[in-house]
Structure 1
Amino acid sequence: MGDDAATVREAAQAGARTSAASPTRGVTVIGVDDRPPAAWAAERLAGATLVVGAARHLDALAVPARAARHVLGDVAAGIDAIRRHPGPAVVLASGDPGFFGIVRLLRERGVDAEVAPAVSSVASAFALAGHSWDDAVVVSAHGRDPRRAINACRALPKVAVLTAPGSGPAEIATALRGWPRRLVVAERIGAPDQRITECTPEQAASRAWADPNVVLTLAERPAPRGWAAPRRQGPERWALPEESFDHRDGMITKAEVRALALAHLGPGVGDLVWDLGCGSGSVAVECARFGAAALAVDRDGGQCDRARRNAAAHDVEVRVVHADAPACLAGLPDPDTVFVGGGGPDVVAEAAGRGARSVVVALAAVDRVPAARDALRARSYDVGGMTVTASRFADLPGGATRLAATNPVFLVWGHR
């Protein structure tokens, strides 16, 4: 079996070298870590007439003296230099360049390349920390708004973050205050001054960190085992029956209402959802099951306890805030989407003013609809709504079925 695997590997490498000898001027991307590149990749480097890479990579490898060097700062400029160059070119990149790396950008610019990957920084960080990572989610805050990456860290039990200056360990840690997390920061992986630090968000937020680095965020609860990496984030079923939740005297958003609310909220990985006047927390829990970070707010301490129990029962994380809305909302991170299950038009207005892409309001009385609609329209939302009524099957003696009506709920939504 080992020999067969080696034969397949050699054939794949030979095929890659054959395909590279095409009219694309022989571009090779070599991943760089603390080990020498593969023999065939070293041959490509020795024959290159242009080598593109970060200064540290150009200094670390044996770049031929006759080759032109292009220090990679502006990536677009580096790719343009490769496209203009008439001879064989090599690109040096950290770790696995096909994993959140330059290979995608090259292909988007019409440059086909053979790739010699090294060990990715994420794999190295987990190995150095002594953790498996098939159950982890990898997100990038490099060259992007870090909010979505941070929200993934708030929601999921094991996340690796590819960082950038200004979106590094301190900034991520500051945003994670209030969420129970341990951080592992892997600085300058593969360099002589490599360092691995495990700490709390509070500790990470108060110090400076060396670039480049990778941040691992770990929850107290274990990540679920799966058969695929990354594992499926969406639930197999949603709009769960009320019996799936601990609730008080029927004070819970009914399954039919939740189903429509979820359709308009559209929660997913990278989102932060507010559930205001959360009661049992059923909406927050359902959103968290889709992989969204969830904040549930209620002024009733007993309901807050129920929301925590329901989150634990469904193996998701919901941060529960025992406070009055709208007064407490100013201290919460900005939401992507908001469900208002309790509170007056002032709560709706405050939520709508925080820039969420959608706000959904559930009301028990029709005379409260105009104020909710006005609050959303005042913030330039496209507003809609409907009455949600349902008649559920109920058994009668002798195997017959009757319809049992639920109380109507008035659902108002606004979308940007």
Structure 2
Amino acid sequence: MITVVGTGTGAPLPPDAGAALAGAGLVVGARRHLAAAALPDSAARIVLGPLAPALDAIERYLEKAGRQDGAPDPGRVVVLASGDPGFFGIVRALAERFGAGRLDVHPGVSSVAAAFARAGLTWDDAVVVSAHGRDLRTAVNVCRAHPKVAVLTGPGSGPAELGAALAGSGGRVLVVAAALGAGAGERVERVTPAEAAARDWGPAVNVVLCLDESRVLSPVRTVAGPAPGPSRWALGEGEFTHRDSMITKFEVRALALARLGPRLGDQVWDIGAGSGSVAVECARFGAAVTAVEKTGDGVERVRANAAAHGVDVTVVHGAAPTVLSDLPDPDAVFIGGGGRELPAMVTACARRARRSVVVALAALDRVPAVREALVAAGLDCDGVLLQSSRLAPLPGDVTRLAATNPVFLLWGVRPPAHAATSGDVPGAVSRDVRSDVHGDVRSDVRSDEGVAQ
């Protein structure tokens, strides 16, 4: 049996750790946990650095104990971890190696729970994402799209880097929680993203909360985590403000959304956004969305439609491809306008898209150039001509079919062998094994959720 003891956010061990430690034959933990614990003189000790050697040592100890038939019990293995070791913690690695049935886990309070408690907020409606040992862009995209996010930080992915990436996102405040549980040394500060970017926060940061304070209080929840996805999509044109029917029709939008695949942690561009109907629908699926629109009245319509549907859409006033160089790389791109500049826009977007580019166009003459641009960028290209007829009333309580304008929809998908991933989906596992400057464990665990800093 392997006993895993979570110490909570502070260094002192919980009361139930005493009995486990008293019978321990091998104790594994960070240096400060081992120093603070009352260990039996006979117990072997492993100071955690890289995780793999520690797991190998535990396995050798258990194998040796199993071979000693009839010998006195050599003592259990005890792993000391900070926070809740089952939440982005060392329990995952132990369960994968030894099986969940061999673990006896005593959790502490996670740093996320402690940080929200210090802020006086519930967190059943929060999205939790780890940026430790992972691409920061996923955390940034989640923060842009959701009003209540907890980011587990790490070297190179701390408050300064997060703040710099979010400096252009309006309405967000960062709550930086450092040295949680350390008494007088604990720090919980509210800062703007720009203020966070301008500071050196040091290594003691546990977690950063990214909040839209106008929306942090949600109704009573039944399911924890991000809000459920939309119950319907490809909304009717009447549910958006638009000019002279200049809007992507719902039949086209339905297939475009299927090919874009917007999801939590993604960045999606809507180029030539017009009314922003595609941008809004992608945001409703949880993606961070940037809408590019060259007309001033179009920009206001996109903002109005985003507000009406309760989603965040970053709107850029300008013409593509000129304004694209300042935008974060997208996972997927929708292009709904462009005129003569369309091939250049497709080329610029296809070079940077990590997953797919979808183009809607009415002009037959532009189809070959768009297809060539997608293929030249290394994407696998496909497409359809959509021709639909909608039910329409006629006098006498009868119905006719009213044809809509035909629209070409082309899409390019980056081949799997060359596709860039969007980083870890929140809650996913990173298999890398890392050590920080203190020599503590750095694998798929945050220090304050697996083994302390």
TM-score, with length taken from structure 1: 0.91
Q: 1:98 matched to which residue of 2?
A: 86
- Opposite residue 350 of structure 2, the aligned amino acid is A
Contact 1:233 1:291 in 2 (8 A): no
Q: Distance in 1 between matches of 2:193 and 2:226?
A: 26
- Opposite residue 49 of structure 1, the aligned amino acid is G
The alignment partner of 2:113 has SS state of helix
Contact 1:361 1:412 in 2 (8 A): yes
Q: Distance in 1 between matches of 2:401 and 2:25?
A: 79
Q: 1:157 aligns with which of 147, 152, 155?
A: 147
- Opposite residue 80 of structure 2, the aligned amino acid is L
The alignment partner of 1:98 has SS state of coil
| Pair 1:199 & 2:194 matched | no
Root-mean-square deviation (CA, aligned residues, Å) is 1.4
Q: Please state how far the C-alpha of 1:397 moved relative to its aligned partner.
A: 2.3
Q: Distance in 1 between matches of 2:106 and 2:410?
A: 54
1:212–1:49 Cα change, 3 Å: farther
Contact 1:233 1:269 in 2 (8 A): no
The alignment partner of 1:170 has SS state of helix
Q: Please state how far the C-alpha of 1:146 moved relative to its aligned partner.
A: 2.0
Q: Please state how far the C-alpha of 1:295 moved relative to its aligned partner.
A: 0.2
The alignment partner of 1:105 has SS state of helix
Contact 2:257 2:282 in 1 (8 A): yes
The alignment partner of 1:370 has SS state of helix
Contact 2:30 2:47 in 1 (8 A): yes
- Opposite residue 362 of structure 1, the aligned amino acid is A
| Pair 1:332 & 2:308 matched | no
Matches within 5 A, 1:17-416: 26-33=1-8, 34=10, 37-86=13-62, 87-111=75-99, 112-180=102-170, 181-192=172-183, 193-210=185-202, 211-223=204-216, 224-225=218-219, 226-343=221-338, 344-416=342-414
Q: Please state how far the C-alpha of 1:38 moved relative to its aligned partner.
A: 4.7
1:262–1:301 Cα change, 3 Å: same
Q: Distance in 1 between matches of 2:166 and 2:228?
A: 21
Q: Please state how far the C-alpha of 1:356 moved relative to its aligned partner.
A: 2.3
Q: Distance in 1 between matches of 2:32 and 2:307?
A: 47
The alignment partner of 2:396 has SS state of helix
Contact 1:38 1:116 in 2 (8 A): no
Q: Distance in 2 between matches of 1:238 and 1:246?
A: 16
The alignment partner of 2:115 has SS state of helix
- Opposite residue 133 of structure 1, the aligned amino acid is W
Same amino acid, percent of matched pairs: 61
Q: Please state how far the C-alpha of 1:307 moved relative to its aligned partner.
A: 0.3
- Opposite residue 56 of structure 2, the aligned amino acid is D
Q: Please state how far the C-alpha of 1:221 moved relative to its aligned partner.
A: 3.6
TM-score, with length taken from structure 2: 0.84
Q: 2:440 matched to which residue of 1?
A: none
The alignment partner of 1:73 has SS state of coil
- Opposite residue 76 of structure 2, the aligned amino acid is P
- Opposite residue 219 of structure 1, the aligned amino acid is D
Deviations 1:141-196 (A, max 9, x none): 12222221211011101000111111111111111121121000001111241100
Deviations 1:290-341 (A, max 9, x none): 0000000011010010000000000000000001111110000110110011
Contact 2:176 2:205 in 1 (8 A): no
Q: Please state how far the C-alpha of 1:104 moved relative to its aligned partner.
A: 1.1
Deviations 1:200-246 (A, max 9, x none): 00000111113342010001441443321014441111000000100
Q: Distance in 2 between matches of 1:118 and 1:159?
A: 21
Contact 2:11 2:33 in 1 (8 A): no
The alignment partner of 1:398 has SS state of coil
Counting matched residue pairs gives 391
1:221–1:356 Cα change, 3 Å: farther
Deviations 1:38-92 (A, max 9, x none): 5443211221121111112222322333222211121222222222213411111
Q: Distance in 2 between matches of 1:40 and 1:131?
A: 29
More deviation in 30-39 or 129-138?
30-39
Q: Distance in 1 between matches of 2:53 and 2:292?
A: 48
Q: Please state how far the C-alpha of 1:35 moved relative to its aligned partner.
A: 7.6
Q: Distance in 2 between matches of 1:282 and 1:252?
A: 7
Does 1 or 2 have the higher relative contact order (CA < 8 Å, sep 6+)?
Answer: 2
- Opposite residue 23 of structure 2, the aligned amino acid is G
The alignment partner of 2:352 has SS state of coil
Q: Please state how far the C-alpha of 1:386 moved relative to its aligned partner.
A: 0.6
Contact 2:12 2:36 in 1 (8 A): no
Structure 2 stretches lacking a partner, 5+ long: 63-74, 415-453
Q: Distance in 2 between matches of 1:356 and 1:231?
A: 24
Q: Distance in 2 between matches of 1:184 and 1:143?
A: 21
Structure 1 stretches lacking a partner, 5+ long: 1-25
More deviation in 80-89 or 373-382?
80-89
Contact 2:125 2:227 in 1 (8 A): no
